[in-house]
Amino acid sequence: MEKKTPQLFDTKSGFNSATKTFHSLRPPIDLPPEDAPISAVDYVSSLRATLPWRDDDTVALINSVTGLRVSFSEFTRRTNSLASYLQNVTRLSKNDTAFVLSTNSIEIPILYFSLLSLGVIISPANPVNTESEISRQIQLSNPVIAFATSSVVHKLAKLKHRTILIDSPEFDSMTMSWNSKHELDRAKVCQSDVAAIMYSSGTTGRVKGVMLTHRNLTAAVASSFASSPKRVSPAVMLFTMPYFHIYGLFFCFRAAALMETAVVMQRFDLKMMLKAVEEFRVTHAAVTPPIVVAMSKGGSTDGYDLSSLETVACGAAPLGKDTIMAFASKFPKVVLVQAYGLTESTAGVFRTVGPDECRRWGSTGRLSAGLEAKIVDPETGDSLPPGKEGELSIRGPTIMKGYVGEPEVTSATLLPDGWMRTGDLCYIDEDGFLFIVDRLKDLIKYKGYQVAPAELEHLLLSHPEVADAAVIPYPDEEAGQVPMAFVVRQPHSSLNEAEIMEFVARQVSPYKKIRRVAFINAIPKSAAGKILRMELRKVAVPSGSSCRL
């Protein structure tokens, strides 16, 4: 009998020098088999049943504006009632797709759980999208029904079933009384079934529909559940991120699994957010980098009691060290958690866990349970050891099934051996912490040197008179490309182009210097807080160095 050589991992980084693969050093998670008839909703319910503080009277959802509360017992009743109506009256069935066009509300988690329990695929989209953008998304997901708010329903074309308005008395009635009138026939939903079609940001090309399975959601929740600190009472989580984004969808399931109280904001406003933290004694907040930057600046939080805040989780884009230092100085008792993930990876695949890991400033944490990672040289395709920069690839149970209707794009991203290319230039250090350099496609090529926009953006944001900033490549006949900065000044600031250039030049190598500056009113960003560089490139005209948005 052939003797198998044991796999040897470095106990600090998780790197296997034989396979040149990084392995997670988190405690392993026990997942159902892929063909198991267990939906993500069922799995979340099973986790909730293990909590020591389980109490169905715990508040599940709070409307941050009205203060309206929904307990977990009421959440379950409403979910079952709506599922019963949609099954018996609307006649939705397994593998149908439902398009959801709505701002945040406490009705959205109820809708998601109802649809998924029936085996219906949810496909949420940004309500600010144009009619042509929505038409493209509908073409991809091919829904039979849409759920929308009354303010955006006009953007939708006619589908097989009539559109149901989420903010209507009719919808309330569906969630309140139908369970008692009709028997709910539980659909046989397997882990391998598609649960959601989420839309990529579209910042690097045409929007794509990302197919996530019930197993993807199950694995993402299981990993977060296993690494969450044990509590004696439920956390109160403030939702600033949209439910139509993978960040919001993940936290929707996580909150339900951990029996957290979700304080739901319909739209983000810093003052409204701070007021909600004070009023509802929020312990945890899930935010994007612009919010961390705003909280760290000047007297932005003066006059609010934020003493209940324990943790701020930041995702969607990396934070600069200067921003982290400013936040830590202002909120020394608040743990700033960072994570790295994609829509295609069902949100976070690297994250910081606990105060010690969170002190590794600039890092987005260590590899989550059940996953593998590789750093690949973009030129040679060779896998690289700790400390070397290359494209990050991920493999594991949270990786998407593929892009709907786009086999060529899928095969370019998902390799035959299960690895998914992320398109991000990164490195993993000797202790297994991931550091994001930038998107490979966003790198500026200056006279053969590679310049990362994110590094320059972090520097710009450290300037006290800069409210926000973005950097893009600008075409240059001699250099190929030069870094161009778009800057939003603080109110009453008279900061000029020369001062911006000098500020950066003092802190970087000559090839990284900012060569052009434009002052604008706002940096265009996606709902998740990612900079829309394509929009900036459209206004970066050669005729001048200053422009307005």
Q: Which residues pair with 237 in a beta bridge?
A: 262, 284
Specify whether the CB–CB gap between 185 and 91 falls below 8 A. no
On whether both 500 and 404 belong to a single domain, the answer is no
Q: Where are the extended beta strands (E) located within 220-302? A: 236-239, 261-264, 284-287
What's the rounded mean pLDDT across residues 186-211?
A: 82
pLDDT band at 87 (very low <50, low <70, confident <90, very high): very high
Which of these three, 384, 404, 434, is where a domain ends? 434
pLDDT band at 543 (very low <50, low <70, confident <90, very high): very low
Question: SS in 3 state form for 75-113?
Answer: HHHHHHHHHHHHHHCCCCCCCCEEEEECCCCCHHHHHHH
Least confident stretch, 72-86, 153-167, 193-207, 218-232: 193-207
Which of these three, 415, 434, 453, is where a domain ends? 434
HSE-up of residue 268 (Cα within 13 Å, Cβ side):
19
Nearest Cα to Cα of residue 124 among 193, 195, 203, 197: 197
Work out the angle at residue 525's Cα, subtended by the Cα atoms of residues 519 and 130, and round it to the nearest 5 degrees.
Answer: 115
Say if residue 108's pLDDT is above 90.
yes
Say if residue 26's pLDDT is above 60.
yes
Domain housing 381:
40-434
Nearest Cα to Cα of residue 486 among 416, 535, 450: 535
pLDDT band at 437 (very low <50, low <70, confident <90, very high): confident
Distance (Å, whole) CA 33 – CA 50 = 20
pLDDT band at 544 (very low <50, low <70, confident <90, very high): very low
In the DSSP assignment, the letter for residue 230 is P
For residue 5, tell me if it sits in a domain.
Answer: no
Say if residue 91's pLDDT is above 90.
yes
Distance (Å, whole) CA 208 – CA 206 = 6
| Model pLDDT for residues 192-203, shown as the tens digit of each residue | 999 999 998 543
Distance (Å, whole) CA 241 – CA 244 = 9
For residue 64, tell me if it sits in a domain.
Answer: yes
pLDDT of residue 547: 34
| Model pLDDT for residues 458-469, shown as the tens digit of each residue | 899 989 999 999
Nearest Cα to Cα of residue 200 among 318, 319, 345: 345
pLDDT of residue 201: 56
**What does the mean pLDDT of the chain come to?**
88
pLDDT of residue 528: 66
Which of these three, 434, 468, 486, is where a domain ends? 434
Both tokens of residue 82?
């709506």
What's the rounded mean pLDDT across residues 91-109?
A: 96
The pTM score is 0.83
Task: Write the CB contacts of 497 (distance below 8 Å, at least 6 apart in sequence).
Answer: 517, 519, 545, 546
Helix (H, G, I), strand (E, B) or coil at 471: strand
The one-letter amino acid at 111: L
Distance (Å, whole) CA 262 – CA 112 = 15
| Rg value, the chain, Cα | 24
HSE-up of residue 143 (Cα within 13 Å, Cβ side):
31
Distance of alpha carbon 98 from the chain centroid: 21
pLDDT of residue 448: 63
| Model pLDDT for residues 323-342, shown as the tens digit of each residue | 888 888 899 999 999 899 99
On whether both 408 and 476 belong to a single domain, the answer is no
Say if residue 439's pLDDT is above 80.
no
For residue 1, tell me if it sits in a domain.
Answer: no
pLDDT of residue 77: 93
pLDDT of residue 148: 97
pLDDT band at 542 (very low <50, low <70, confident <90, very high): very low
The secondary element (H helix, E strand) that includes residue 470 is strand 466-476
On whether both 420 and 447 belong to a single domain, the answer is no
What's the rounded mean pLDDT across residues 337-351?
A: 91
In terms of DSSP bridges, do strands 366-367 and 209-213 run parallel, antiparallel, or are they unpaired? unpaired
pLDDT of residue 484: 93
Strands across the sheet containing 390-395: 15-16, 21-23, 372-376, 390-395, 420-428, 434-439
What's the rounded mean pLDDT across residues 417-446?
A: 88
pLDDT band at 204 (very low <50, low <70, confident <90, very high): very low
On whether both 367 and 497 belong to a single domain, the answer is no
For residue 22, tell me if it sits in a domain.
Answer: no
**CA end-to-end span of the chain:** 71
Say if residue 3's pLDDT is above 60.
no
For residue 23, tell me if it sits in a domain.
Answer: no
What's the rounded mean pLDDT across residues 428-448?
A: 84
What's the rounded mean pLDDT across residues 179-190?
A: 76
Specify whether the CB–CB gap between 473 and 515 falls below 8 A. no
Based on DSSP, count helices (H) and strands (E) in the chain, helices before strands. Answer: 15, 27
In terms of DSSP bridges, do strands 121-125 and 97-101 run parallel, antiparallel, or are they unpaired? parallel
Residue 5, classified by CB atoms within 10 Å of its CB into exposed (0-12), middle (13-18) or buried (19+), is exposed
Place of tokens 């312990």: 283
pLDDT of residue 400: 96
| Model pLDDT for residues 48-68, shown as the tens digit of each residue | 988 887 788 899 999 999 999
| Model pLDDT for residues 405-425, shown as the tens digit of each residue | 989 989 999 999 999 999 888
For residue 545, tell me if it sits in a domain.
Answer: no
Distance (Å, whole) CA 292 – CA 237 = 16
For residue 246, tell me if it sits in a domain.
Answer: yes
Say if residue 38's pLDDT is above 70.
yes
On whether both 188 and 267 belong to a single domain, the answer is yes
Distance (Å, whole) CA 251 – CA 347 = 9
On whether both 218 and 237 belong to a single domain, the answer is yes
On whether both 342 and 449 belong to a single domain, the answer is no
pLDDT of residue 299: 73
549 to 487, 496, 536, 539: CA distances (angstroms): 11, 17, 9, 8
Q: How many other CB atoms are found less than 10 A from the CB of residue 75?
A: 22
On whether both 419 and 448 belong to a single domain, the answer is no
pLDDT band at 182 (very low <50, low <70, confident <90, very high): low
| Model pLDDT for residues 246-288, shown as the tens digit of each residue | 989 999 999 999 999 999 998 888 899 999 999 999 999 988 8
On whether both 379 and 490 belong to a single domain, the answer is no
CATH number of the domain that residue 273 is part of: 3.40.50.12780
Say if residue 178's pLDDT is above 70.
no
Distance (Å, whole) CA 153 – CA 38 = 33
DSSP secondary structure letters along 167-195: TSHHHHHHHHHHHHHS--------TTSEE
For residue 221, tell me if it sits in a domain.
Answer: yes
On whether both 470 and 426 belong to a single domain, the answer is no
Which position has the higher pLDDT, 543 or 255? 255
| Model pLDDT for residues 153-173, shown as the tens digit of each residue | 999 999 999 999 999 999 999
Looking at the structure of the chain, the number of domains it has is 2
On whether both 59 and 140 belong to a single domain, the answer is yes
315 to 222, 255, 342, 398, 497: CA distances (angstroms): 19, 16, 10, 17, 31
| Model pLDDT for residues 114-157, shown as the tens digit of each residue | 999 999 999 999 898 888 889 989 999 999 999 999 999 999 99
- Dihedral class, residue 477 (left if φ above 0, else alpha if ψ from -120 to 50, else beta): alpha
Helix (H, G, I), strand (E, B) or coil at 441: helix
On whether both 500 and 426 belong to a single domain, the answer is no
CATH number of the domain that residue 501 is part of: 3.30.300.30
Distance (Å, whole) CA 40 – CA 37 = 10
